[in-house]
Amino acid sequence: MTTNHDCSSVRSGHAICSLIDLGKSETERAKTLGKMIFLGFALFASLIFCPFSVALEVPVLKDTINDFAGMMPQASVHDLEERLKRFKTQTGHTIVVLTVRSLEDEDMKSFGGKAFKSLPLEEPALQKSVLLVVARKQQKVGVEVGSQLGHLFREPEASQKLQGHVGLYFGGFRPDLGIHAGVNYIFRVIKGEFHVDTTTELEKLEDASTRGAGAGAIFAVLLAPFLAFVVGVLWGIYATHNSIERGMRLVMGAVLSYGTAKIVAFLMSLISSYGDGLWYFILAISIPLGVFGSLTEFWMAGEWRGIPRVKDRIKRKPEDNMGI
């Protein structure tokens, strides 16, 4: 009996121990599962709220044009490559163009530095080289130069000047024209015709021509007098039909021609500005033409007049007209 009782006690002890061990293992599993869930949420939150940036890799480059952004038609690429090769032959300086679709999260300066170091040039040639970098999405322009050209392309003036030349064409149908303009500016800086820290008179003139300066003045001179005359004619016809006396008709013709010239001049000034002297010249032409257009009795006489005449409704014989 004692032996059986002892055996039962031993079995009960083993069962209790097994239950205790099972409880501990379940607790550990729950803790482990909780840790895994917490780590999963932490990783998910880090991906959403703390996005990491990946450095943009520099592709394999050529020593002429690398249009990875697709900004240049093939004919434009061929033409610019010929110019770059000819310039290198004449001066010994290598100009390289690199366009990318986007910088992602990388800075233009750091990406340009990496791209410049990866150019397929030996160190002596690299010291005399210039790399023009264009990011299409960000619409940014950067420049990297070798040690021998650093005094010509001081920052930030160099990048700002090139941004002005290239950026002018970003929103148009021919962004490659901006790249041509930027390369041409680099050519002239190396030749000493332009300086990045100053603006010469020639540069001002070319910049004004590129931006369409003077076009507004030309259109104003051509359009304002013509429209003033047309308005004067229309007013003259209306006034004559309504039997408005000549003095009032001429005064109103002058006022309307002045208003027409003023409106045209304002609209053309949105294209480009011009001086007061040109404005007074436009008025000196427009107002007399408007007044002349109002004089319908002089220039609209006879069968050509725009105002119908009251004709004699009685049909006469030819001899009556002859005074017989």
Q: 215, 220, 216, 257: which is closest to 236 by C-alpha?
A: 257
Contact 294, 232 (CB under 8 A): yes
Beta partners for 146? none
Residue 8's pLDDT band (boundaries 50, 70, 90)?
A: very low
**Is the domain 65-210 a CATH 3.10.310.50 member?**
yes
**And the tokens for 72?**
């240049």
| Residue found under tokens 């045209």 | 264
> Buried b / exposed e across 184-217, counting CB within 10 Å, b at 16+?
ebbbbbbeeebebeeeeeebeebeeeeeebeebb
Angle at which helices 246-269 and 276-294 cross, to 10°: 150
CA distance readout (Å), 185 to 154, 180, 293: 14, 9, 51
| Residue 19, pLDDT above cutoff 70 | no
Residue 243's pLDDT band (boundaries 50, 70, 90)?
A: confident
Q: Is 278 exposed, middle or buried (0-12, 13-18, 19+ CB in 10 A)?
A: middle
pLDDT tens-digit map of 255-277: 998 999 889 888 877 666 667 78
Angle at which helices 215-241 and 276-294 cross, to 10°: 20
| pLDDT at residue 7 in the model | 44
Other C-beta atoms within 10 Å of 141: how many?
A: 26
Contact 132, 162 (CB under 8 A): yes
pLDDT tens-digit map of 36-94: 666 555 555 554 444 444 456 778 899 999 999 999 999 999 999 999 999 999 999 99
pLDDT tens-digit map of 206-221: 665 555 555 667 778 8
The domain limits of the chain are 65-210, 215-304
CA distance from start to end of the chain = 175
Q: Look up the pTM and report it.
A: 0.54
| Residue 307, pLDDT above cutoff 80 | no
Residue 182's pLDDT band (boundaries 50, 70, 90)?
A: very high
pLDDT tens-digit map of 119-153: 999 999 999 999 999 999 999 999 999 999 999 99
